[in-house]
A = this chain, B = another copy of it.
Amino acid sequence: MSEPSSLPVAFGDVLAAADRLRGVAVETPLLESDALNAMVGGRLLLKAEPLQRTGSFKFRGAYNAISVLRPPAVVAYSSGNHAQGVALAARLLGIPATIVMPDDAPRMKLEGTRALGAEVVTYDRWRESREAIGEAIAARTGAVLIRPYDDPLVIAGQGTLGLEMAEQAARRGAKLDAALVCSSGGGLVAGCAVALIHCLPGIAVYCVEPAGFDDHARSLAAGTRLANEPGAASFCDALLAPTPGEVTFPINRRLLQGGLVVTDAEVAEAIRLAFRHLKLVVEPGGAVALAAALSGKLDTQGRTIGVVLSGGNVDAALFARILAEAS
């Protein structure tokens, strides 16, 4: 699949982001486990983004956007990972940050954001619009809104993860047949698809979502943006966006092979296997791509699959509960 120049993010944007992030973001390792490979009958190369600064990929896009814009102040809305990414990026660049977070966000994410020096404003996830609150603060204070995914600079920053995956796989002589990337608003998978398909034209890139929040899978099949039914629940707190992004969807519609969907039980099992075989702490939203690979959602037999483990910000009590469950 070729990369059309009409998309809002081009490969050159990802390269420019990689230059800005060099020496600032961590080049996270691409892990491999003999045990997981044996389980899937193929080869899984796992991008360990819990080892990124702030514990998730979100720092990449936030830093790229803020370092280009250099505004007097920033505001962001986020369930927690974008919050921490924006907070750290702003602090490194000497810019004050206000973050709008749901009051039921994981405690670790709320505390982590405050610990990074940002002001946190909480809201009710089911009754208030985070977008409206964020835009009101921006209008009142003059701060620039750093969107979690509908921003070409943010998408290009997240794309550096896909670029690193392609480079790291090539360095070890592996040829990726497919890549699995989690999706909420679709910024990470859009950026990664731009980078991966440029570097590896034959690769099939899939987004992965939790059941009940499969708006991308259905929208990609329908060719138009569809919303999730209200009332669904998932413990993948990072992946609850109601609909594909306006900026991200045209990219994903053009570049993605399709969308895969996993249950919370499949995600919990993936978290346990990452604990056991990778020694890595992966949060629920960060484990959906691994869950798809391990639960047979695509053919892994004899193939080499890039899998994004996108974050590790999970409260200790929930992680302990997941470990304690029989698999």
Q: In A239-285, which residues have CB < 8 Å from any B CB?
A: 272, 275-276, 278-282
Considering the chains assembled together, what is the distance between the CA atoms of A64 and B313 in angstroms?
A: 37
Q: CB < 8 Å: which of B28, B34, B316, B324 contacts A317?
A: B324
Q: In A308-327, which residues have CB < 8 Å from any B CB?
A: 312, 316-317, 319-321, 323-324
Contact call B272/A88, Cβ cutoff below 8 A: no
Considering the chains assembled together, what is the distance between the CA atoms of A157 and B44 in angstroms?
A: 27
Q: Report if A108 contacts B (CB, 8 A).
A: yes
Q: CB < 8 Å: which of B53, B281, B323 contacts A280?
A: B281
Minimum CB–CB distance for A22 against chain B, Å: 12
Q: Report if A31 contacts B (CB, 8 A).
A: yes
Q: Report if A69 contacts B (CB, 8 A).
A: no
Minimum CB–CB distance for A11 against chain B, Å: 27
Considering the chains assembled together, what is the distance between the CA atoms of A280 and B276 in angstroms?
A: 11
Contact call B115/A35, Cβ cutoff below 8 A: yes
Q: In A36-80, which residues have CB < 8 Å from any B CB?
A: 48, 50-51, 53, 55
Q: In A80-96, which residues have CB < 8 Å from any B CB?
A: 88
Contact call A316/B324, Cβ cutoff below 8 A: yes
Q: Report if A29 contacts B (CB, 8 A).
A: yes
Question: In terms of DSSP, what is the predominant structure of the interface of chain A?
Answer: helix
| Chain B neighbourhood of A272, CB < 8 A | 316
**Count of chain copies:** 2
Considering the chains assembled together, what is the distance between the CA atoms of A174 and B312 in angstroms?
A: 27
Considering the chains assembled together, what is the distance between the CA atoms of A219 and B48 in angstroms?
A: 41
| Chain B neighbourhood of A88, CB < 8 A | 34
Contact call A275/B281, Cβ cutoff below 8 A: yes
Considering the chains assembled together, what is the distance between the CA atoms of A66 and B136 in angstroms?
A: 66
| Chain B neighbourhood of A278, CB < 8 A | 51
Q: A88-B34, A272-B316 are in contact. Are A279 and B323 (CB under 8 A)?
A: no
Closest B residue, CB atoms, query A173: B23
| Chain B neighbourhood of A324, CB < 8 A | 316-317, 320
| Chain B neighbourhood of A317, CB < 8 A | 323-324
Minimum CB–CB distance for A139 against chain B, Å: 32
User: Which residues of A line the B interface, CB within 8 A?
Assistant: 28-29, 31, 34-35, 48, 50-51, 53, 55, 88, 108, 115, 272, 275-276, 278-282, 312, 316-317, 319-321, 323-324
Report 25 cross-chain contacts, Cβ distance below 8 Å, ordered by A residue: A28-B29, A29-B29, A29-B51, A34-B53, A34-B88, A50-B279, A51-B278, A51-B279, A55-B279, A272-B316, A275-B281, A275-B316, A275-B319, A276-B316, A279-B280, A279-B281, A279-B282, A280-B280, A281-B281, A316-B323, A317-B323, A317-B324, A319-B320, A320-B320, A320-B321
